[in-house]
Amino acid sequence: MLEMLKKFTVDDAFLGRFRRLVTESVIPYQEKALRDEIPGAAPSHAIENFRLAAEYLETGSCSGEFYGYVFQDTDLAKWIEAAAYSLIASPDADLERRVDEAIDLVGRAQWPDGYLNTYFTVKSPKERWTNLQEAHELYTAGHMMEAAVAYAISTGKTKLLDIMMKMTENIYRHFIVEKAPGFPGHPEVELALLKMYELTGEAKCLELAEHFINVRGVDRDYFKKETAIRPGKVWGMDPEDRAYAQCDVPVRDFTVAEGHAVRAVYLYTAMAELARRSGEKELTDACVRVWNNIVQKQMYVTGGIGSSCAGEAFSVDYNLPNDIAYSETCAAIGLVFFARRMAELFHKGEYGDVMEQALYNTVLAGMELDGQRFFYVNPLEVVPGVAGIVPANRDELPLRPKWYGCACCPPNLARTLTSLSCYAWEENETTVWNHLFIGGKLDLTDTKGVTVDVATGYPVQGNVKYTFHPVGEKAGFTFAVRVPAWCEHAKVLYNGERLYRRAPGEETTLNTRFEDGFAYITADFKEGDTVELVLDLQPRRIFANTRVAANSGCVAFAYGPMVYCAEGVDNHNEILSLRAGKSLEPTMVPITEGVLNGMLRMDVPGYRLESDATLYSARRPRAVPYTVRMIPYHAWANRGENEMRVWLPEL
Amino acid sequence: MLEMLKKFTVDDAFLGRFRRLVTESVIPYQEKALRDEIPGAAPSHAIENFRLAAEYLETGSCSGEFYGYVFQDTDLAKWIEAAAYSLIASPDADLERRVDEAIDLVGRAQWPDGYLNTYFTVKSPKERWTNLQEAHELYTAGHMMEAAVAYAISTGKTKLLDIMMKMTENIYRHFIVEKAPGFPGHPEVELALLKMYELTGEAKCLELAEHFINVRGVDRDYFKKETAIRPGKVWGMDPEDRAYAQCDVPVRDFTVAEGHAVRAVYLYTAMAELARRSGEKELTDACVRVWNNIVQKQMYVTGGIGSSCAGEAFSVDYNLPNDIAYSETCAAIGLVFFARRMAELFHKGEYGDVMEQALYNTVLAGMELDGQRFFYVNPLEVVPGVAGIVPANRDELPLRPKWYGCACCPPNLARTLTSLSCYAWEENETTVWNHLFIGGKLDLTDTKGVTVDVATGYPVQGNVKYTFHPVGEKAGFTFAVRVPAWCEHAKVLYNGERLYRRAPGEETTLNTRFEDGFAYITADFKEGDTVELVLDLQPRRIFANTRVAANSGCVAFAYGPMVYCAEGVDNHNEILSLRAGKSLEPTMVPITEGVLNGMLRMDVPGYRLESDATLYSARRPRAVPYTVRMIPYHAWANRGENEMRVWLPEL
């Protein structure tokens, strides 16, 4: 999938805004944070940690102390990764020079034996690999590997890749050659190693990723044994909480999604990628089981996952509270990662459906529309005075904070929003799949002898037009377009000829088929040929399974992939008294001013309830007709603190 | 009010069951627990702590160590109090002898200067009064005072009363004579001292109660100062969390109910009693403000209070989640205490309304119908697999546990259910008020020259019949019967003559009036005269203020004072898919077998929703007509673990 980073150039009206914010605002801010140049903010110290590690290796002593989280190195890694992606679309010689300098510093902080980690180098060089549960050592390595891969693809420069291959050799020696037991407390290195493998073809990367996946949970007591003998501790985590760290059973025995949501989906991502490469049924089946558990029983309608604030974790089936939702931004991003690998494994549209559900709702909600503030936690109901204040609701902030000491979600957003090309597209020898509808230019000159222009107003509009420009006279291959399951009346046109979806018997002169959520068009594409996907973007009602206690009697609204929410600022600040009507259809209204300019508002005919002023009353609240104004969920909390609800009770 | 303990003998079909359980099961169990005679249970050690304290005072050393909570003495105090009340209705010479023995032991554990507290006596005799915030020293004294008062009234024996008067003198010397600063971290001694005053007329008791109320929150930093210099610590509580301990402002400046709910209502109880005695407007107004805040903004429909699990505390206005409700049994009991004093202060029916709302719902729910198991926490929605398991719902157990290490709620239930006489009745020179409708015999021979038989099937039936038996030819006084606000069609009859409620202009030959929720009948009552209250007990719908987010779109059902709930065991274990219909009226059906035998079931015409098996669907769940079977809330969780809901979404 990584090759798509350079093959597809995003030029998208809707997502362009977010990409630009990342390039123009988030990445520069992130860099300042790394360099401790933001007045008033908690220092990151990430660059300084690398400087100290280099100093230690070069002089044998340090002039300062390590500062920050045990995984502080990942602040730099994620910045390099985001900067690398950003440089593909927005070349910036000065930024590239500064990244090169940072990479030089990383190189200086690497031990001669390849080991790289400033926490252990500066703080306790003898304690390498003694605390896999807590110390995020492999996690940190994984993020730097992802950065290395991204930067190599983006710039062709392989210095960081070489550094991380040396680190991979170091890890390989320790865990494979010297047979050290254990596996990472926070999965990440597995998916990173598989990216290294994809780019370099280096067998040790694949073997190491496979090793960590294979040994996980086999010795259920590994963390317990480690805790008993390790010299230091980081947080004092419970080594018996195996579900939290996805090691209660071997991965092939997974039946449900459990534990810390980000750890879980990072692991599942690697499992799916490995299963695709190996074709192993047992691992594939495990991926399907956890996927199905997530999307059929543990996912918010916004594509958010990990409903439990305690442990930022998956909960039990159907436990999806709206007001005390955790639904971490990074977990939704991880779900995109997982979905992308599942899409490639199975070529079913449902994976792309979920990918865009997470992307256009929870992932985008993670960032303020000015690119300056970020949500970790993405509740589906907010009541000012309760959210962020009442102990049970303490995590659910009503407004995005500026940055975080634990800077995990903002950089994750930055790297995801700048690398959408590889989530949107997939290619093999015969076929090109389009998973996400993003405007831009697809250059398949090398492989299919064609470029494809993609023009779309998605997700605000429902048309996606692909125009083919073969290098030669024609280009013969199969072009597969996802047809979202949520769209009841979708059309696919080839040069204006209709290919109706869900009419598999209906033949055309083309070799076409509709299968598992994709329209496959096999043709000799000639200059100017077009494929068009026409999605009927009507406002949609969504009903939850009755087992979701929090949504009893409620309905959610969506338009295309975007789930909508009602905010107080549009509704006289009384969201809790609003009810959605059952019969009349909502209408879409363009927003033409303010920070939401260009989006579509949804006007839902409904009611405003006037209850007695008392806490309880024998009188049923009087229902007054009222049009509930709703906006895309991702855009909530951009106009000050106010009430918000995704699920509205129906009347 | 205490005089009513002996003046009114309960003989009530409904509450008799609970009283009997207390006498026959709870009090004996409690005694065994005190003596550490329950195999497998965590030891109470309460008796042993007193033995050790006595040993220390008699020999100068201890043969063992203090064990248990810092307030472990209250286990014994609450048992004595409950036993005392129980002995009034159910004389038991053997039990009385054992209480006397326990009191003898308490006496031996008292210092010559009157000080009594086994924690400090055994553990750190030099640290008396050094940790008012955490050590519950005055709280513990308060409970023993309440026991002393109860036992003196019940048996006429004053040994414990004398002991506690000596302790009062000790407290008085320390805080009044020697002007020691500070006030109790857990209010209780204030209401206990006022009971001591009521019984003995001893001015120091009143003065001391007033002192603790007056100084509270005046020095906002008292606990901070104390923490800085105290020699020991108990829990390490935050001395800056003033709202938790109701000392952020002086009590007369209270505007809302805040902090630990039991502490709060115990304090408000004393404030209301003191305000009544002093007639002070400022204190009275503060009581009204916190009362109104509780019942108008922070009380569950079950009369439960303190919705926040964190700190067992009040939350913010309208924050009344059903599934993560705390609603501690003891807090509902405390609300009964507070309501009773407010009733005497204002003679408004609303206080009795709330008293019975708390009593017949949350208080009674605290005890299993076999008297063996108890709830601390009383949620209004329970989903098995979530309740008691998912971290956010960990406190909301789906079944009552057997006993608790912190044995606070069960003994509190025991003493409350055996002392209902003084909550039911009130008397002054001219008038007798009936706040709660409980069958039995009221003996006012000494004061009004009359006895009154009360016959009722309340709350299962709605008639309450009072038959007057004057000692002489007639007895002239005013008899006041509360007419519950929830009853739309109530009648009051005097010797069969109707006195319609809410028709103040309608005169009769009697001197009657309806005022503030009471029917006042002033008459010369003759032998056989009757007053009848006829309450039309129709199933009622209750709607919450729209600002209660958790109840959006929902309705609750009640019958008389009893709120109803739907349990899975009666509804094919699918409560979450049930909806209450809007139009058809519920019907009441007698339950004739099983553990709920004798109660009334409520059959609510409604629907069962059949949703798609998927988590989300575009299809509105199909509504199939279904009769929802509901039972009184207090009786939930008596038939195994299953789903439960009080608030049902309407369809």
- Interface with A, mutate which of B238, B545, B578, B650 (most A CBs under 10 A): B545
pLDDT band at A291 (very low <50, low <70, confident <90, very high): very high
Chain A residues touching B317 at Cβ < 8 A = 385
Nearest to A611 among B385, B546, B619 (CB): B546
**Dihedral-angle region of residue A183 (phi above 0 means left; psi in -120 to 50 means alpha; beta otherwise):** beta
Q: Residue A198: is it exposed, middle or buried by C-beta count within 10 angstroms (0-12/13-18/19+)?
A: middle
Chain A residues touching B547 at Cβ < 8 A = 576-577
Say whether B549 and A390 touch across the interface (CB within 8 A). Answer: no
Are residues B265 and B327 in contact, defined by beta-carbon separation less than 8 angstroms?
no
Residue with tokens 């993405």: A378
Q: Considering the candidates A205, A247, A408, A487, report the single residue annotated as catalytic.
A: A408
Bridge partner list, B606: B580, B626
Task: Report the alpha-carbon angle A532-A538-A543, nearest 5.
Answer: 125
- Which residue type does B587 have? T
Q: Considering the candidates A258, A312, A350, A426, report the single residue annotated as catalytic.
A: A312
How many Cβ atoms sit within 10 Å of the Cβ of residue B171?
27
Say whether B650 and A618 touch across the interface (CB within 8 A). Answer: no
> What pLDDT, on a 0 to 100 scale, did the predictor assign at position B406?
60
Nearest CA in chain B to A612: B545
Nearest CA in chain B to A541: B618
Angle between helices A261-278 and A329-346 (to 10 degrees): 10
Say whether A618 and B488 touch across the interface (CB within 8 A). Answer: yes
> What pLDDT, on a 0 to 100 scale, did the predictor assign at position A404?
61
Nearest to B549 among A543, A556, A576 (CB): A576
Contact pairs from chain A to chain B, CB under 8 Å? 167
Q: How far apart are CA B255 and CA B252, in angstroms?
A: 9
For residue range A355-386, list pLDDT tens digits in order: 999 999 999 999 999 998 999 999 999 999 99
Chain A residues touching B616 at Cβ < 8 A = 301, 542-545, 556
Say whether B319 and A386 touch across the interface (CB within 8 A). Answer: yes
Beta strand A474-482 with A431-434 is parallel
Side-chain-side CA neighbours of residue A79 (13 Å) = 27
DSSP state of B421: H
A408 is catalytic: yes
Q: Residue B173: is it exposed, middle or buried by C-beta count within 10 angstroms (0-12/13-18/19+)?
A: middle
> What pLDDT, on a 0 to 100 scale, did the predictor assign at position A501?
45
> What pLDDT, on a 0 to 100 scale, did the predictor assign at position B550?
97
Lowest-confidence segment of A177-186, A500-509, A555-564, B255-264 by average pLDDT: A500-509
> What pLDDT, on a 0 to 100 scale, did the predictor assign at position B502?
44
Lowest-confidence segment of A86-100, A220-234, B134-148, B463-477 by average pLDDT: A220-234
Are residues A195 and A148 in contact, defined by beta-carbon separation less than 8 angstroms?
no
* A218: CB partners within 8 A, 6+ apart: A250
The parts of chain B modelled with pLDDT lower than 70 are 403-406, 499-511
How is residue B528 written in tokens? 């056989």
DSSP sequence for A139-195: HHHHHHHHHHHHHHHHH---HHHHHHHHHHHHHHIIIIIS------SS--HHHHHHH
Nearest CA in chain A to B573: A547
Say whether A616 and B545 touch across the interface (CB within 8 A). Answer: yes
> What pLDDT, on a 0 to 100 scale, did the predictor assign at position B405?
60
How many Cβ atoms sit within 10 Å of the Cβ of residue B504?
11
* CA A323 to mean position of chain CA atoms: 22
List Cβ<8 Å contacts ≥24 apart for B500-505: none
> What pLDDT, on a 0 to 100 scale, did the predictor assign at position B24?
94
- Interface with A, mutate which of B316, B386, B608, B615 (most A CBs under 10 A): B615
Chain A residues touching B615 at Cβ < 8 A = 295-297, 299, 318, 544-545, 548
Bridge partner list, A544: B616
Q: Rounded to a whole number, what is the distance in Å from the CA of A439 to chain B's nearest CA? A: 28
Say whether B616 and A545 touch across the interface (CB within 8 A). Answer: yes
Regarding pTM above 0.90, the answer is: yes
Q: How far apart are CA A266 and CA B21, in angstroms?
A: 56
pLDDT band at A618 (very low <50, low <70, confident <90, very high): very high
How is residue B142 written in tokens? 């308060």
Q: Rounded to a whole number, what is the distance in Å from the CA of A50 to chain B's nearest CA? A: 38
Chain A residues touching B324 at Cβ < 8 A = 324, 392
Residue with tokens 């709910």: B261
Lowest-confidence segment of A60-64, A205-209, B105-109 by average pLDDT: A60-64
Q: How far apart are CA B358 and CA A204, in angstroms?
A: 68
Are residues B188 and B143 in contact, defined by beta-carbon separation less than 8 angstroms?
yes
- Which residue type does B449 have? G
pLDDT higher than 50, residue A392? yes
Say whether A389 and B316 touch across the interface (CB within 8 A). Answer: yes
Q: Residue B593: is it exposed, middle or buried by C-beta count within 10 angstroms (0-12/13-18/19+)?
A: exposed
Longest Cα separation, chain A? 80
> What pLDDT, on a 0 to 100 scale, did the predictor assign at position A519?
93
Are residues B491 and B500 in contact, defined by beta-carbon separation less than 8 angstroms?
yes
ipTM: 0.94
> What pLDDT, on a 0 to 100 scale, did the predictor assign at position A498?
76
Chain A residues touching B609 at Cβ < 8 A = 546
* B518: CB partners within 8 A, 6+ apart: B347, B348, B349, B433, B480, B481, B482, B483
Q: Rounded to a whole number, what is the distance in Å from the CA of A181 to chain B's nearest CA? A: 32
Chain A residues touching B323 at Cβ < 8 A = 321, 549
Bridge partner list, B601: B589
SS3 of residue B614 by DSSP: coil
Residue with tokens 């004996």: B28
For residue range A70-85, list pLDDT tens digits in order: 999 999 999 999 999 9
Residue with tokens 């959408």: A420
Task: Residue A323: name the closest of A386, A368, A373, A281 by CA.
Answer: A386
Are residues A440 and A8 in contact, defined by beta-carbon separation less than 8 angstroms?
yes
Q: How far apart are CA A576 and CA B546, in angstroms?
A: 6
Are residues A64 and A52 in contact, defined by beta-carbon separation less than 8 angstroms?
yes
How is residue B410 written in tokens? 């069960």
Tally of residues, chain A:
651
B574 is catalytic: no
Q: Considering the candidates B287, B408, B422, B487, report the single residue annotated as catalytic.
A: B408
How many Cβ atoms sit within 10 Å of the Cβ of residue A203?
9
Q: Considering the candidates B190, B210, B312, B350, report the single residue annotated as catalytic.
A: B312
Nearest CA in chain B to A315: B390
SS3 of residue B274 by DSSP: helix
Nearest to B308 among A319, A391, A548 (CB): A391
Say whether B621 and A295 touch across the interface (CB within 8 A). Answer: no
Bridge partner list, A530: A467
Nearest to A543 among B299, B579, B621 (CB): B621
> What pLDDT, on a 0 to 100 scale, did the predictor assign at position B184?
97
How many Cβ atoms sit within 10 Å of the Cβ of residue A61?
8
Nearest to A543 among B299, B389, B620 (CB): B620
Chain B residues touching A577 at Cβ < 8 A = 546-547
> What pLDDT, on a 0 to 100 scale, did the predictor assign at position A405?
60
Q: How far apart are CA B651 and CA B349, in angstroms?
A: 34
pLDDT higher than 90, residue A406? no
- Interface with A, mutate which of B302, B320, B552 (most A CBs under 10 A): B552
> What pLDDT, on a 0 to 100 scale, did the predictor assign at position A502?
44
